Amino acid sequence: MNALEVSNISKRFGNFFAVKDLTFEISEGSIYGLLGPNGAGKTTTLRMVMNIIMPDSGEIKVLGQKMDERMKARIGYLPEDRGLYPKMKVGEILLFLAEIKGVRGERAKKKIDLWLDRFSLSEWKQKKVEELSKGMQQKIQFIVTVIHEPEIIILDEPFGGLDPVNTKLIKDIMMEMEKKGHTIIFSTHRMEQVEMICDKICLINKAEKVLEGGLADIKKEYGKNTVILDYDGNGSFIKEFPGIEKIDDYGKFMEIKMKEKADPQGLLETLVGKIQVNKFEVREPTLNAIFIDKVGEKDAEDTVSH
Amino acid sequence: MRKILSVIKREYIQIVRTKGFIIGTVLGPVLMASFIVVPVLMSVISVDKQETIGVVDLSERVFTGLENKLDMKLKDGQRRYLLTEYKVRRDVDGLREELNRKVLSDELTAYLIIPENISEGGTAKYYSRNVSDFDKLRSINEAVNSVVIEKRLNKEGLNPSKIAEYLKRIRWKNNKVTKRGVEEDTGGTFIIAYFLVLILYMTLFFYGSIIMRGVIEEKTSRVVEVVLSSLKPFQLMIGKLLGIAAVGFTQYTIWALFGLAASKYGGRLVSGIFPQAQAFKMPSMPAYIFVYFVVFFILGYFLYGTLYAAIGSVVNSEKEAQQLLFPISMFLIVPILLIMFVMRSPSSSVSVILSLVPFFAPILMLLRISILLPPFIQVAGSIVLMILMILLMVWLVSKIYRVGILMYGKRPNMKEIIKWVRYS
């Protein structure tokens, strides 16, 4: 059974299409990445999946049933625009948000203590939310998302504003949840995370789907014509080498896209002696490169840079 | 339904715990007590001092009588008003200038010019820096008036010693006829009506802004979408309205208990502290007025509460909300401005129609009920109209609310808001 089936959904705000005829499905127990530049329609799509806004047309099925209010209890949702009631105590707000997900009484209290302990926040339980640091509030947010043990977990930009330690913590829990059979859907515009975590992705741009499939399949389709070069020295001469289609130079790191029949070995020979080569790898393109290729450099500039 | 209950519980606990609620709940009775105590205090502790008033008596017949009439005493036994007569030496205008200087230098509080023909319809003129002290003006006016009338009667050959008796005012008592019989009114009806309407007005404003601030807080703290992942916008809105209504109920109950205690022991307490004060009688309030008061508060609360919720949902900050609040404030202020009119003619057709308008009804119909109970059909009519209006508002506002709470950035204009209602 599919955890989520989205068929031909569209949403218009005035004359502007936020989502246009979008279709994708997610099999149970997988980690699915919804990618796209800012304003592509990711958040609108997830809001429609959550029944927070209604699609103008199309259908959404969750766990085999048409999405409705009752299904909300089986999904955990971490919105991109997220926050907590600043004046409430940590224990109270967790209890309230657990209650409206249908977890009540002693069961809710037990779970709250368990999760607070896991994130080492137990001594903050009686403190007001506004007294917590930003990172602690993010952890509380995450607890809220999973406290009712939902079958599907939807995370909209889950790592936005997180430091590396908390990012790892959240990532570890995501992997653990996947092992337990939960389905995880997350949206992001940071490709390196997607490469590490996702099984399948869907790339949307300007309200429409441009790419969908398993991560490995997509990369294979792009072929092994990319050179990853880790170097020291002045590498500006490389662009003169015949058979190079495109270079992404980061100063000490270069992603070089070769033309169809070009010879990577020849390139390596040219490099030796002129610069110090720390690593030379012929492989599929990074997801980042595919993303830029599909979305177009101009569109992606403001997205990928941060 | 359980989700709505959770929202109600959250709203209730969060607000009842705030300092604002605790202070407001305590301050209410203090305010009520001050309504009773302050007027009594004012009558006991007078701040009056002796004042000198100049009199230019061109008729040459009034001054002596006036000095006898205006003989109120201060607490220390001295005269309240010291009268000084000024004679015209050259011309009246010159004297007036001199007296004006004396008034401006506070040598005189005021001066009075009594024309020669005062008995035949001439105008007495009063000059002072302050001509708004109605109490003082009235007593001086009365004194001059009765002196002149006595002179006229005297001229007609009436026995001067009997004149005072002839001029004695009649005694008068107001009685209110109600279905339960006739009861004497000592101004209590007016006080109660005014008091109730004022409380209603203040609490509608107060709870309305609590609702609005709650909605804005959910938006600015970005918690709203987290909540909406579990329930419908409508459930959140209704839960908020009901939760805050429960807060209002709590506050009213506390106040009612205070009020009950005050009406039972208040009079005794006041006369215990200030034995000088004449036996103070607390105005009593019939139970049915209190019941209507609660009914109209509830209806008014939902009527205005939905409006405040709508405003909270379309703005990004309380500052932005201020401009939008103006029309709502007008809805509340207009009936307050109409209070005097409705009190004077509570059964006129204009009053009846105004009190049936849903947004005016909480204040104006309650006012009419507390002055003289209108026909039941009118009261029921206003209640039905309000309920219909509330249903319409809830329907309309829930459509604005569900879009508004997820909108950040530029405040939508009226046209866009109408579009939201039409689309969803």
Residue B56: give its domain's CATH number. Answer: 3.40.190
Clarify whether residues B286 and B346 are in a common domain. yes
Q: Please answer yes or no on whether A83 and B227 come within 8 Å at the CB atom.
A: no
Q: Which residues of A touch B228 (CB under 8 A)?
A: 50, 52
For residue B60 the two structure tokens come to 């040459």
Considering only CB atoms, A52 lies closest to which of B7, B13, B228, namely B228
A271 sits in which H/E element: helix A264-271
Residue B351 lies in a domain: yes
Residue B28 lies in a domain: yes
Beta strand A65-66 pairing with A57-62: antiparallel
Each domain of chain A, given as residue ranges in start order, spans 2-219, 224-283
Q: B303, B358 in Cβ contact below 8 A? A: yes
> Which one of B229, B399, B420 makes the best mutation probe of the A interface by having the most chain A beta carbons within 10 Å?
B229
Domain end, chosen from B146, B172, B198, is at B172
- In chain B, the residue whose alpha carbon lies closest to the alpha carbon of A51 is B229
Tens of pLDDT, residue by residue, chain B (424 residues): 889 999 999 999 999 998 888 998 888 778 767 776 776 676 666 667 888 999 999 888 888 888 888 888 877 778 888 899 998 888 888 888 899 999 999 889 899 999 988 888 889 999 998 888 877 888 899 889 888 888 888 888 888 778 778 878 888 888 878 777 777 766 667 777 788 888 888 889 889 999 999 999 999 999 999 999 999 999 999 999 999 999 999 998 888 888 777 777 766 666 666 665 555 555 666 778 888 988 999 999 999 999 999 999 999 888 888 888 888 888 888 998 898 888 888 888 999 999 999 999 999 999 888 888 888 899 999 999 999 999 999 999 998 998 888 888 777 888 888 877 776 5
- In chain B, the residue whose alpha carbon lies closest to the alpha carbon of A44 is B406
Residue B373 lies in a domain: yes
- Please write down the HEC assignment for all residues of B1-39: CHHHHHHHHHHHHHHHCCHHHHHHHHHHHHHHHHHHHHH
DSSP codes, B202-231: HHHHHHHHHHHHHHHHHHHTT-HHHHHTTS
Considering only CB atoms, B226 lies closest to which of A88, A92, A97, namely A97
Three-class SS state of B188: helix
φ, ψ of residue B147 to 5 degrees: the values are: -65, -45
Q: Please answer yes or no on whether A85 and B226 come within 8 Å at the CB atom.
A: no
Angle (CA) B67-B69-B75 rounded to 5° is 90
Clarify whether residues B32 and B117 are in a common domain. no
- Decide yes or no: CATH 3.30.70 for domain A224-283: yes
Clarify whether residues B352 and B220 are in a common domain. yes
B161 contact partners, CB below 8 Å, separation of at least 6: none
For residue B290 the two structure tokens come to 């209190």
Q: A31, A174 in Cβ contact below 8 A? A: yes
A8 pLDDT more than 50: yes
Q: Which residues of B touch A54 (CB under 8 A)?
A: 424
For chain B, the domain total comes to 2
Helix-helix angle B318-337:B361-371, to 10 degrees: 30
Clarify whether residues B168 and B200 are in a common domain. no
CATH of A2-219, one of 3.40.50.2300, 2.40.50.100, 3.40.50.11540, 3.40.50.300: 3.40.50.300
Closest residue by Cα to residue B254 from B209, B199, B189, B197? B199
Residue B283 lies in a domain: yes
Clarify whether residues B145 and B191 are in a common domain. no
Shortest alpha-carbon distance between residue A79 and chain B (Å): 6
Residue B151 lies in a domain: yes
What is the mean predicted confidence (pLDDT) over A55-69? Answer: 92
B107 contact partners, CB below 8 Å, separation of at least 6: B52
Shortest alpha-carbon distance between residue B352 and chain A (Å): 44
- In chain B, the residue whose alpha carbon lies closest to the alpha carbon of A73 is B230
Distance CA B77, CA B82 (A): 13
Residue B285 lies in a domain: yes
Clarify whether residues B227 and B355 are in a common domain. yes
Clarify whether residues B221 and B150 are in a common domain. no
Closest residue by Cα to residue B8 from A205, A100, A218? A100
Distance CA B149, CA B143 (A): 10
Clarify whether residues B26 and B87 are in a common domain. no
Residue B42 lies in a domain: no
Provide residues of B within 8 Å CB-CB of chain A. 2-3, 6-7, 10, 13-14, 217-218, 221-223, 225-232, 406, 408, 419, 424
Residue B149 structural domain: 51-172
Considering only CB atoms, A82 lies closest to which of B3, B217, B226, namely B226
> Which one of A71, A100, A126 makes the best mutation probe of the B interface by having the most chain B beta carbons within 10 Å?
A100
Clarify whether residues B279 and B419 are in a common domain. yes
